[in-house]
Amino acid sequence: MLCNMFRSLLALSPDDVLPSVYLCTNKIAADHENVELNIGGSLVTSALEEACGTSRSKIREMYSELGDLGDVAQACRQTQKLLAPPSPLLIKDVFSALQKISVQTGSGSTVRKKSLILNLMRSCREKEMKFLVRTLVRNLRIGAMMKTVLPALAQAVVINSSYNFNNEGRVENMKDKLQRHSAAVVEAYNVLPNLDLVVPSLMDKGVGFSSSTLAMVPGIPIKPMLAKITNGVQQALKLFENKAFTCEYKYDGQRAQIHKLVDGSLRVFSRNGDESTSRFPDLINIVNASCKPDAETFILDAEVVAVDRNNGHKLMSFQELSSRGRGGRDTSITLDSIKVNICVFVFDIMFANGKQLLGFPLRQRRKYLKDMFYVEKLGYFEYAKEITIEADDACLTSEATLAKISCFLENSFQSSCEGIMVKSLDVDAGYSPSKRTDTWLKVKRDYMEGLNDSLDLVPIGAWHGNGRKAGWYSPFLMACYNPETEDFQSVCRVMSGFSDSFYTEMKGFFSGDKILSRKPPYYKTSEMPDMWFSPELVWEIRGADFTVSPVHQAAVGLVHPSRGISIRFPRYIRTVADRKPDECSTAEDIAAMFRSQTRKMDVAPEN
């Protein structure tokens, strides 16, 4: 369906292709540009009242019944009588209006935003209204993600360019071409996640487009490489048997991608590509002081960790780092206001002085990294602490190797780290943006036997607290995300690990538009909390182990045909500020962790 739409646009209206990709993926700009519509449901409802002549009470009643503001908008438009059909709503006009909405700030901005929304609504026909409203509230739900939209466009480009396909008569040849082109455009986007550059290049190069067509650009964050979990040192060693590998401390901080641009400026990006330069003026000073004069441009992968320089440069927890001010598009943190110091632990380099290093093995990338910087400065700029295991020593029968890694792991815990990373040095040791591979593994201390890692989950509902917790929300209903179906699937209730101040903060946070009048159709659970929340936050949750559940729907069908997966004895660890709700742990993540847990379960379906 998407491919056919793009084929039509390529043939009839090529200028609309780029705006269409943005609209299909519910974006109006690249992630790193931090552009938001900043529109609440109340503003959309107010515009809907005026555009359709429907009272707010009627809209609330319909929303309680339908559970989707887009469906409500469509129903309102269907019952509205118009003297004449509205003029056609053009793709470019919708995209242009959304961009105008995003830049409205200051006095009178709400009125100006509403006026722009009204103009769009008055031009809508029935289903257009539904998807416009969903776009405005950032909940499009058409099953289109970047990893499906870009391949659809790539395939449209190939098909439209293959005029002699019927003469060739080789379906398999075309199938191979479509797969290669789809993979190429996704790989290119992972390296350069900017549709303004990728889409025009794809359209221009056509079937000649490849993943190497576009090069990395300092200032545009690449998608970070990810790690798989392991059950412990022995499993990691088994996967790297007879291959040289390295172990690094896994720090309890915030991942940061640090860019030096051609103009000499530095920019910092979070794990999900949001710019956070304004939050870390001290980081800018630290990196500037550490890099050599001939380090003209670079892209680093690093961890920013809170440090107590008055106590032997002791590393502090992520919670301490989170207490720093956040800054924003219009506000920066000043050096004088900083109360929590940081140390920058660099562990990789992906770009150096105009050269892309993604295909280089880690051992070689490390050499580039250390050539770009002066020696470490304790508590300010350090390389991730590491040890190297050469191929001859990488075997399960080597007690010395097992002891060396186990000692290194224990030392990481003593240094207030989460555990260690185990990475290939030479074989398949390139940097793979956005990919989770066996060449990067993480080994963390078990919270209890069985569960080898924490989960990043989204609170989607809560019950009213009782007893001492009366007046607060407790427990919270937590969910993972299934990107294939765009559903949030419940995993567990959580009611431990919270402070009283956190309960108070969440009571204030989950209010107004963040409280839903009914369970949305894209929440999958048999639980019935007192309140349903819109997906806003991501929390790190740990527990004892996994179990199958008739109530929770996480990974339903992936491990058991009719039951989901839940966590026993879950507890809150921290808020994950640099992840968006749809970037939380996925159903597939949970299924993989269930299969790898040390306590095995019989999950055969009942007769």
Per DSSP, the residues of 376-405 read -BTTTEEEPPEEEE-GGG--TT-HHHHHHH
Single out the residue of 435, 430, 354, 362 nearest to residue 186, CA to CA: 435
Interacting residues of 102 by C-beta distance below 8 A, sequence separation 6+: 28, 29, 35, 36, 37, 38
Single out the residue of 425, 431, 418 nearest to residue 393, CA to CA: 425
- Of 114, 250, 423, 442, the catalytic one is 250
Single out the residue of 171, 155, 213 nearest to residue 188, CA to CA: 213
* The CA-based dihedral angle spanning residues 102, 108, 110, 113, taken in that order and rounded to the nearest 10 degrees: -50
Task: Kindly report the three-state secondary structure assignment for every residue of 413-424.
Answer: HHCCCCEEEEEE
Burial of 122 (0-12, 13-18, 19+ CB in 10 A): middle
Is 100 an annotated catalytic residue?
A: no
Sign of CA dihedral 77, 28, 223, 409: negative
Instruction: Quote the tokens at residue 47.
Output: 């515009």
* DSSP reduced 3-state for 8: helix
Single out the residue of 208, 203, 214, 206 nearest to residue 14, CA to CA: 203
Burial of 209 (0-12, 13-18, 19+ CB in 10 A): buried
- What one-letter code names the amino acid at 396? L
Single out the residue of 452, 417, 435, 460 nearest to residue 546, CA to CA: 452
Whose structure tokens read 């798989």?
228
596 within 8 A of 444, measured Cβ to Cβ: no
Distances (CA, A) of 43 to 55, 65, 124, 134: 14, 20, 18, 13
Single out the residue of 587, 596, 484, 489 nearest to residue 535, CA to CA: 489
Dist CA 324 CA 340 (whole Å): 7
Dist CA 447 CA 543 (whole Å): 7
Sign of CA dihedral 280, 281, 286, 290: positive
Q: What are the catalytic residues?
A: 250
